[in-house]
Amino acid sequence: MASKSRPIRLPEDLAKVADARAKHLGYASYSAYIKGLIRYDALVQGPHQISLPWAQLPLEAQDKIDAELLDLCKDGVGKRGQYLRRVIDGTSNDE
C-alpha cells in the first residue's frame, strides 16, 4: 500500500531528540522511527499517562520538558517512574 504523507511540526529540541533516538536505535530514517513508535503504541494499546498530560501543558512548559529530554538523550540516560511525574509537575531538578 502506498504511504500517505503527513507533515509534522516539532519543536527544535524534540526534533533533535527524535533524530538522535532514531539513529541510536538503528532505524533507517526518521520516518521509520515514527512508524515504529506508532506501531508499538498500537501493539501495546496502553494509556499515555505521562505523554498525554505533557501534551496538555502550555507550550512554554512543553519546551522546557523537551530541553530536558534532549539533555538526557545527549547523556544517554533514560529516566522512569517518579522522575516522569516530577517533570510533569515542574519539580524535576535531576536525580
Task: Quote the pTM value.
Answer: 0.77
Classify residue 17 as exposed, middle or buried by CB count within 10 Å of its CB (0-12, 13-18, 19+). Answer: buried
Residue 39 grid coordinates: 506501531
Whether 7 is covered by a domain: the verdict is: no
Helix ranges restricted to H, the chain: 12-25, 30-44, 51-55, 59-75, 82-89
Whether 48 is covered by a domain: the verdict is: yes
Confidence of residue 95 (pLDDT cuts 50, 70, 90): very low
Closest by Cα among 10, 60, 50 to 30: 10
Whether 2 is covered by a domain: the verdict is: no
Whether 51 is covered by a domain: the verdict is: yes
Total structural domains in the chain? 1
Whether 94 is covered by a domain: the verdict is: no
What's residue 88's pLDDT?
65
